[in-house]
Structure 1
Amino acid sequence: MAIGIKAIEYVLPEKVLTNKELEQIYGDWTAEKILTKTGIASRHVVSEGECASDLAEQAAQKLFNSGVISPEEIDFILLATQSPDYQLPTTACILQDRLGIPQSAGALDFNLGCSAYIYGLAMAKSFINTGIAKNVLLLTSETYTKHIHPLDKSTRTIFGDAAAATLVSEDGHEIGNFDLGTDGSGKDALIIPSGGSRIPRSKATAVEIEDNGSIRSQDNLFMDGTEVFSFTIRVVPESVNNILRKHNLSMEDINLFVFHQANEFMLDFLRKKLRIPKEKFYINMQDTGNTVSSTIPIAFKRAQIEGRIQKGDRVLLCGFGVGLSWGSTIITY
């Protein structure tokens, strides 16, 4: 039987931050300008005290409540997050207990962002293929907004918080081969400089600086938008061509393209560069923003609900970003 995606559920925090609210802060950036530049009208953000584990738990419970599987049947938990509850222990271990998943199940976090969903599918498929597990709970949960300075318009207008839960098992929508890649030389393009062993947080790292109209410190998320854009248009077309070649397929054989929902301008540029028809290219981020590792599963689920994916369709998934890192795969529905 095909190893694949059996079900996806996702959750968004209750709190919503609209462009109108941001307009009151930034002044020269109107709500309409933000929408035009990013394709985002609002984003969901966690409240104080709400963590990645809380969102991941809600998404997993939503999956269990759907009746597709019970917690007792899960034998491995994979959690993609760059905002864990603690430096240690592993957040996936905490979720094993909170979700009532058997102690015989394996659990691990992996620290990866925008390409994490593709890497997570690769690991889940490998675990099942090698007999390590039968039912893998792949969780993606991110609270990037906790890392963003309130006056950093370059990131606050883009990112939102969310979590998704994906069940990978032997009787799901078939997961194909993978194209994975890494360019660590671009680490500084998307980074929180302090907080790790290299640069511990201190009074010095908390000093705020003004940069091109935005304010942040070394304790906050920094994104070099120009560098990230250059990286994306360089690696994504190549990754798409690589994954098509690995499946002996052409662009015409793909029914729907679901890319990491970074921002609408970037996605539209990629679509045109790859000559993908609009009707085959899925964009859905106006009310969520860029939710990092959860953008692809949220978009995939919404495409399902909208009837954009039919039995027998091939869906090409591609994630790219922080690391710098990228990955692609093809799902046969």
Structure 2
Amino acid sequence: MRNIGIKNRRICPQWQCFSDLALIAAEKLLDNLTWNKEDIDALIVITQSPDYLIPATAIILQNRLGLSKSTIAFDVNLGCSGYPFGLHLLGSMISAGGVKKGLLLVGDKSASLNDPLFSDAGTATALQFDESASPMYFDLNSDGEGYASIMKPIGGHREPFAAHHLIPSKDEHGLLSWPADLILDGPSVLSFSTQTVPVAVADLLAYVGVDADSIDYFIFHQANKLINETIRKKLSLPIEKVPTTLANFGNTSSATIPLTMTVNLSEKLQNGKNKILMSGFGIGLSWGTCVIDIESAMLPSLIEV
């Protein structure tokens, strides 16, 4: 537990889905922005906790939010790396000229009483076209060779769920597990994260042409304390530049980066201009890093439901 570094987590009631959390977050954000829903051109949902196998959760949320039928709506199946990927997708659509305003809904319902790591969260981010905006820089990567490091092997078409998957087994410590449980190869994920992320961060800084001192805040996916502290120390980053929500919220999958900004940097990001480096990494294996200037952002207060 010392290496995990989590004291509190958020666990939804059984009836509540990720989409319910995302809906609440999106409605509050839109109210604060006073956007006309008819003007929203795109809705991207990044989650590994869909309401159903089909249809896409984004299609359902497009209707629940009361968005126009002309709104582009689709899902992306990504976990802990998902936020930078989502920003790149929506930003590229806006840059291409077909989208003026868009919503990015990110998060998962991944908590369980048997797992001390994961929490439930849903977030909403709004982007709109601004011809004077600073460029956003991205470095996005995938390594499918490590797909088995974090996976749920049961329930897809490769191995459909069956009655025998309901039968638990005991490990050497007497703890029960089920075949459909999440498989997480801790040593493999630790090695991947601590070796890959520092290099990716350094490479992107070099590409952008800035040094670490020029970045106001580094916001990493909140994996666990050992991983995050190893990354920070390898990059020689001061603690005050690397905000964290791990202890109080746990690992909220793709929601950790926007959650950390909301909880720790809300006042700073709403007042003035900050250069932010974000880095998400995990399932896939996949990792994404971006450098973005954020100026006078709208960050509604955290909602606890």
Same fold (TM over 0.5): yes
- Which residue in 1 is equivalent to 2:102? 136
Equivalences for residues 63-142 of structure 1 within 5 A: 63-142=29-108
Deviations 1:259-305 (A, max 9, x none): 00111221111111111111111112222110001000111122332
- Which residue in 2 is equivalent to 1:307? 268
What is the root-mean-square deviation in Å for CA atoms of aligned residues? 1.8
- Which residue in 2 is equivalent to 1:283? 244
Task: Check the 8 A contact 1:124/1:138 in 2, yes or no.
Answer: yes
* Gap regions ≥5 residues in structure 2: 295-305
- Which residue in 2 is equivalent to 1:53? 19
Deviations 1:232-274 (A, max 9, x none): 0111011101211221111121111000011122111111111
Task: Give the paired residue count.
Answer: 292
- Which residue in 1 is equivalent to 2:128? 169
In 2, distance between residues paired with 1:186 and 1:67?
41
Following TM superposition, by how much is the alpha carbon of 1:192 offset from its aligned partner in structure 2, in angstroms? 0.6
The percentage of aligned residue pairs carrying the same residue is: 37
Q: Secondary structure at the match of 1:113?
A: coil
Check if 1:157 corresponds to 2:116: yes
- Which residue in 2 is equivalent to 1:255? 216
- Which residue in 2 is equivalent to 1:187? 147
Following TM superposition, by how much is the alpha carbon of 1:211 offset from its aligned partner in structure 2, in angstroms? 3.5
Q: Partner letter of residue 90 of structure 1?
A: A
In 2, distance between residues paired with 1:78 and 1:229?
29
- Which residue in 1 is equivalent to 2:191? 230
Task: Check the 8 A contact 1:256/1:309 in 2, yes or no.
Answer: no
Q: Secondary structure at the match of 1:236?
A: helix
**Distance of aligned partners of 1:309 and 1:273 in 2 relative to their CA distance in 1, 3 Å threshold:** farther
Q: Partner letter of residue 65 of structure 2?
A: L
* Gap regions ≥5 residues in structure 1: 1-33
TM-score (normalizing by structure 2): 0.91
- Which residue in 1 is equivalent to 2:168? 208
- Which residue in 2 is equivalent to 1:217? 178
Check if 1:318 corresponds to 2:279: yes
Task: Check the 8 A contact 2:215/2:275 in 1, yes or no.
Answer: yes
In 2, distance between residues paired with 1:212 and 1:300?
40
